[in-house]
C-alpha cells in the first residue's frame, strides 16, 4: 500500500467515523464558522479548565476534508494545554502552506494525512476551517494560553 492510499484511508475513516462529534453539555466556548467559498460550516465547542482543553466537540456539514480535519483536530488538542493546542494549530497551518517543518513535536499524527491538501489551494480552506474556529475561540473568548 502506498502512503497516499494510507492517507486517504485515514481521512475517510475520520470523515465516516468522526471523533468528538456532537454537542457539549454545560458551559462551553462556542464558535460558529462558515467557508463561503464551498459551504462548509462548523460549530466548535471547547471546555477549558485551568488552561487545559478538558473537552472539545464539533458539529457541522461539509466535505470529507473539512469534517475529517475537525475530527483529527479534536483528537490532537483534547487534554492538552491551550498553549500546546495553539502550537499544534500553527504547525498544522504551516504544513498546509507547504512550509518547511520547524516543529519540535515528534509528529502531527493523523493530521499528517492532510499534508497532500497543500497541493490543492482551493481545499486548504476546507482543512483549515476547524483550526480557524479554534484560534477564534482562543482569541475572542480570552482563554488563557
The mean of the pLDDT values for the chain is 88
Query: What's this model's pTM, rounded to 2 decimal places?
Result: 0.89
CA 114 to each of CA 4, 10, 17, 66, 145: distance values in angstroms, whole numbers, following the listed order = 10, 9, 16, 10, 26
- 3-class state of residue 74 by DSSP: helix
Fold of 3-140: Sufe protein. Chain: A (3.90.1010)
d(CA 92, CA 139): 18
101 falls in which pLDDT band (50, 70, 90)?
A: low
- The confidence score (pLDDT) of residue 64 equals 93
- Residue closest to 77 by CA, chosen among 56, 107, 100, 95: 56
Sorted by where each begins, the domain ranges of the chain are 3-140
Kindly report, residue by residue over 17-67, the tens digit of the pLDDT: 999 999 998 889 999 999 888 899 999 999 999 999 999 999 999 999 999
- The confidence score (pLDDT) of residue 22 equals 96
Residue 47 neighbours by CB under 8 Å, 6+ apart: 24, 26, 27, 28, 29, 53, 54, 55, 56
Amino acid at each position: 500500500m502506498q502512503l497516499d492510499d494510507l492517507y486517504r484511508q485515514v481521512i475517510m475513516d475520520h470523515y465516516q467515523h468522526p471523533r468528538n462529534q456532537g454537542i457539549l453539555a454545560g458551559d462551553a466556548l462556542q464558535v460558529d464558522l462558515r467557508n463561503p467559498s464551498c459551504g462548509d460550516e462548523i460549530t466548535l465547542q471547547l471546555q477549558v479548565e485551568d488552561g487545559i482543553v478538558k473537552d472539545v466537540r464539533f458539529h457541522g456539514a461539509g466535505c470529507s476534508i473539512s469534517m475529517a480535519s475537525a475530527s483529527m483536530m479534536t483528537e490532537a488538542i483534547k487534554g492538552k494545554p491551550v498553549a500546546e493546542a495553539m502550537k499544534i494549530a500553527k504547525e498544522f497551518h504551516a504544513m498546509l502552506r507547504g512550509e518547511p517543518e520547524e516543529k519540535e513535536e515528534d509528529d502531527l499524527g493523523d493530521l499528517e494525512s492532510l499534508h497532500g491538501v497543500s497541493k490543492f489551494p482551493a481545499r486548504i480552506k476546507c482543512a483549515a476551517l476547524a483550526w480557524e474556529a479554534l484560534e477564534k475561540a482562543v482569541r475572542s473568548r480570552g482563554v488563557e494560553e
